């Protein structure tokens, strides 16, 4: 068994680059502190390159018309919701908000999401649009990964979010998997890959959403793999206003014995 894997969640310009141009480009959903997080992680990769055996990177990838983007919805006057609007199933039923695509599917999705009881349906700024600058890996981190590959190693990317009718926070499956869409189902291949390593270091953005859901999904599906995880807590930040939304997930992780640490305390 190889020793050290690194799984990086959504280290992309839309989240990590504080510069802003247009909606689908860099920084459209900038997470405060994410640039520093990824620069810290880049330095840790350089410092430990010889002892990192594997790097996997999830790539958030959305269509412009995505269920969590403004232009998917409209009110009675045809106006799109503002970013960070919360849309409930009740508001859809009473006509406050109307999905422009597959209304019955969208209503069923909202009800299923609400039944989970963890994450409301939030409308985000358009981000990580497929093929856009915003979807690319944040350059300082990409440079460190490229340098790491010069040892003859290969990194892997895992696309998530391309199905426009469900959020896909976690690395392993969509928030509400669709039985007819394999890309929304649990990624057993990624799980098997991580299980080949003694330690799985976890970093990325955002701590409150995609990192937390990735951890939760593996805790629920394969707790024996989850116990290999080591969270690099200084290489992830929360979406402002959602700092405590994932506290129950992290509390469960601590109860399972999952390690939370910082890069300056990890010497491989």
Q: What are the residue boundaries of the structural domains of the chain, listed by start?
A: 2-63+129-265, 70-116
- pLDDT tens digits, residue range 165-180? 999 999 999 999 999 9
Kindly state the percentage of the chain with pLDDT values over 90: 93
- pLDDT tens digits, residue range 205-245? 999 999 999 999 999 999 999 999 999 999 999 999 999 99
Q: Is 261 helix (H, G, I), strand (E, B) or coil?
A: strand
Averaged pLDDT for residues 116-123? 91
Q: Is 113 helix (H, G, I), strand (E, B) or coil?
A: helix
Give the Cα separation of 115 and 131 in Å (integer).
Answer: 33
- 10-24, 61-75, 127-141, range with the lowest pLDDT: 10-24
DSSP run (H or E) holding 228 = none
Closest CA to 206 of 165, 255, 171, 175: 171
Predicted local confidence at residue 199, as pLDDT: 98
Q: Is 248 helix (H, G, I), strand (E, B) or coil?
A: helix
> Average model confidence (pLDDT) for the chain?
95
User: In terms of residues, how long is the chain?
Assistant: 268
- Other Cβ atoms within 10 Å of 49 Cβ, number: 18
What is the torsion angle, in degrees rounded to the nearest 10, for the CA atoms of residue 212, residue 58, residue 190 and residue 37? Answer: -50
- pLDDT tens digits, residue range 6-58? 999 999 999 999 875 544 455 589 999 999 999 999 999 999 999 999 999 99
From 3.40.50.850, 3.30.56.10, 3.40.80.10, 3.40.50.720, which CATH number describes the 2-63+129-265 domain?
Answer: 3.40.50.850
Predicted local confidence at residue 22, as pLDDT: 45
Give the Cα separation of 209 and 206 in Å (integer).
Answer: 5
Taking each helix axis as running N to C, give the angle between helix 212-221 and helix 247-255, from 0 to 180 degrees, rounded to the nearest 10.
40
Q: Where are the alpha helices (DSSP H) in 119-233?
A: 139-149, 188-194, 212-221, 223-226
Give the Cα separation of 40 and 117 in Å (integer).
Answer: 34
**SS3 per residue for 30-81:** CCCCHHHHHHHHHHHHHHCHHHCCEEEEEEECECCCCCCCHHHEECCCCCCC
pTM of the model: 0.94
Predicted local confidence at residue 27, as pLDDT: 57
- Other Cβ atoms within 10 Å of 17 Cβ, number: 23
DSSP run (H or E) holding 198 = strand 197-204
% helix, strand, coil for the chain, step of 5: 40, 15, 45
């Amino acid at each position: 068994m190889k020793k050290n894997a690194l799984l990086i969640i959504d280290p992309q310009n839309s989240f990590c680059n504080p510069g802003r141009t247009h909606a689908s480009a860099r920084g459209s959903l900038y997470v405060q502190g994410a640039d520093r997080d990824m620069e810290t992680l880049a330095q840790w990769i350089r410092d430990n390159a010889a002892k990192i055996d594997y790097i996997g990177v999830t790539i958030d990838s959305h269509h412009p018309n995505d269920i969590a983007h403004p232009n998917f919805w409209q009110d009675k006057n045809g106006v799109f919701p503002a970013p960070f609007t919360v849309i409930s199933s009740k508001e859809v039923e009473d006509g406050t908000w109307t999905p422009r695509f597959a209304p019955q599917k969208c209503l069923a999705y909202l009800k299923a999401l609400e039944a989970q009881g963890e994450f409301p349906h939030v409308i985000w700024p358009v981000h990580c649009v497929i093929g856009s600058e915003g979807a690319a890996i944040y350059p300082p981190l990409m440079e460190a990964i490229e340098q790491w590959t010069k040892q003859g190693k290969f990194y892997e990317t895992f696309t998530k979010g391309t199905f426009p009718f469900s959020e896909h926070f976690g690395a392993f499956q969509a928030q509400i998997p669709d039985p007819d869409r394999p890309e929304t189902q649990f990624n057993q291949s990624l799980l098997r890959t991580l299980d080949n390593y003694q330690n799985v270091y976890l970093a990325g953005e955002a701590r409150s959403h995609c990192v937390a859901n990735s951890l939760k999904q593996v805790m629920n599906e394969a707790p024996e793999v989850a116990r290999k995880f080591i969270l690099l807590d200084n290489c992830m930040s929360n979406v402002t206003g959602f700092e405590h939304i994932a506290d129950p997930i992290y509390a469960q992780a601590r109860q399972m014995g999952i390690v939370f640490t910082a890069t300056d305390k990890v010497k491989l």
